[in-house]
Amino acid sequence: TGTRTNAGPAGGTAAEPSGRLGPLTSLVIDRILVSDDVAASKFGTDSPIDDPVREAQVLEQVRQQADATGVNSDAAVAFFQDQITASKEVQRGLFARWTAHPEEAPTTRPDLGQIRTRLDRLTTSLLAELKNTAHLRAQPVACTVQLTLADVTGAALERLDTLHRQALRTATDSVCHPTETP
């Protein structure tokens, strides 16, 4: 389900993954859950899971906004490449599930253009959190401890299934391996 009660990084009322990477992990999970809507928009249509033209647009937006945000642009692109890989893992997993169990397939088809607008907004929020966490992410041991805590609590709070937990691991793979110190 893509429904969240969390108000985001600034909201403190709803549950958020624990620790200093909690807000970033929360946004990563948001993006993973949007992948369910992406899959629903494409399933049973001619739209392919892989769209290299759109991916290039996403990464171009990342490169430009990273510079403007003061985030290392190579590190930001690497992080978003992982977000894209994770999204496609979810989409492939859901396509397989819905093909094997048609009764679980979505009955409505959301608009891909509107979903991409949501993804573009998440890009801006994710870059802001990369900026906020740059100092911690440059300390590999502390970062890895915080990332494990945030991943485990986030996956539990959102009741992620195996497919979405695997996608969360993919999506956070480079978080503690910045290409250079800030």
Ligand X SMILES: C=C(O[C@@H]1C=C(C(=O)O)C=C[C@H]1O)C(=O)O
Taking the complex as a whole, how short is the minimal distance between the CB of residue 44 and ligand X, in angstroms? 15
- Residue 173 binding ligand X, by CB under 6 A: no
Report the residue closest to ligand X, judged by CB. 87
Sign of CA dihedral 110, 112, 113, 118: positive
CA 148 – CA 21 distance, rounded (Å): 9
- Residue 94 binds to ligand X (criterion: CB under 6 A): no
On whether the CB atoms of residues 145 and 175 are closer than 8 A, the answer is no
Give the relative orientation of helices 112-132 and 52-69 as an angle to the nearest 10 degrees.
Answer: 30
- Contact between 141 and 83 under an 8 Å Cβ cutoff? The reply is no
CB of 108 to ligand X, least distance (A): 18
Using the rule CB under 6 A, give the single segment among 54-62, 93-101, 132-140, 154-162 that binds ligand X. Answer: 54-62
Residues numbered 16-45 forming contacts with ligand X, rule: CB under 6 A: 38
Contacting residues toward ligand X, per CB under 6 A: 38, 50-51, 54-55, 58, 83-84, 87-88, 116, 119
